[in-house]
Structure 1
Amino acid sequence: MADFSLRLIILLLVCVLVAIIVVSGRILVARRRQQALAAEPLSIDSSGKDGDEPLVRILAFSSEDCRQCHTLQQPALERLLKQSGGDRIEAVHVDAVTQHDLTERYKVLTVPTTVVLDTEGNAHAVNYGFANTQKLQEQINAILGVSVS
């Protein structure tokens, strides 16, 4: 009976430890996301290709050896641009390894990471890990004030 009790106590301690680690990780990610959203606006030309409508940009952080970046995130961005016609949305590919200034500015934790910038260059959304086409479209619609029924 004592052996069973000891095993049960060890199991409970491991569960508590795992729960603490998970909660701590979520808090860290939430803080980093808040810092990224509070970053200074990125000063880039925000006019569209025709020059009269503002442009929404998606910074797509990746690396050369990131399989998920190339097999999932890149096709999702291409679908998004194809669906939108590409005239008010632009995807900018950022090498997270070599462009340390942007990686630090937007608190990139992993690749792929996408940062959706509004028409003023402010970070509107930060997606750590793969963000599908629908999620990115919803974030862009929120910026542009488009309602989807």
Structure 2
Amino acid sequence: MIERLALVIVLAIFCGATYYGLRSLHIRRMKPAHAGAAAPTLLYFRGDSCAVCPAQTRAIDQLASLWPDSLQIERIDAEHDMETAARYSVFTLPTTIWIDGDGRVRQVNYGLADADKLGRQLSLLAAIKLDQTPSVLNSKSAQSA
């Protein structure tokens, strides 16, 4: 019985390491773009047939209203701009991709990423201290207290 449990744990660790390794490789293989931008850039891939995209749009709009000078947002309709979607290997909608000022891809979110997650990623990317961020990042902790 212990052997089976150990095998399951080792298999889970292997699968997790493989996932994060392939994701890291995917990010490194993306070619730099948007070089020279003063602020981090969020590429938001969406589509008209995407059921979750309106929720993602609201989260991005909320983030943009909180940090209007700290980021640039490019909304890309993946169904019409297939060339750009293929360049970034976008197969899931919505997909959000953070690009730093040097044009390097730093984070990729496949599927819905809420405003808290995007805010934390922006904070890390733009070197904004979390204790000085607007309340959107702390809304969940305040509700649970």
Structure 2 residue aligned with 1:101? 83
1:42 equivalent in alignment to 2:42: no
Structure 2 residue aligned with 1:51? none
Partner deviation per Cα, 1:68-124 (whole Å, 9 max, x = no partner): 112x1000000001111x112121111112323322222213000000111111111
Structure 2 residue aligned with 1:69? 53
What RMSD in Å do the two structures reach over aligned CA positions? 2.5
Distance 1:129 1:99 in 2: 18
Distance 1:110 1:39 in 2: 16
Structure 1 residue aligned with 2:104? 122
Percent pairwise identity? 25
Amino acid in structure 2 at the alignment position of 1:79: Q
Distance 2:24 2:92 in 1: 12
1:141 equivalent in alignment to 2:144: no
Distance 2:42 2:74 in 1: 6
Distance 1:81 1:43, change over 3 A: closer
Partner deviation per Cα, 1:23-65 (whole Å, 9 max, x = no partner): 59x956862553134311113551xxxxxxx111100001111
Larger radius of gyration: 1
Distance 1:28 1:140 in 2: 23
Distance 2:20 2:50 in 1: 20
Gapped regions of structure 1 (runs ≥ 5): 1-15, 47-53
- The residue matched to 2:30 in structure 1 has which SS? coil
- The residue matched to 1:125 in structure 2 has which SS? strand
Residues matched between the structures, number: 120
Partners of 1:38 and 1:123 within 8 A in 2: no
Amino acid in structure 2 at the alignment position of 1:63: G
Amino acid in structure 2 at the alignment position of 1:134: D
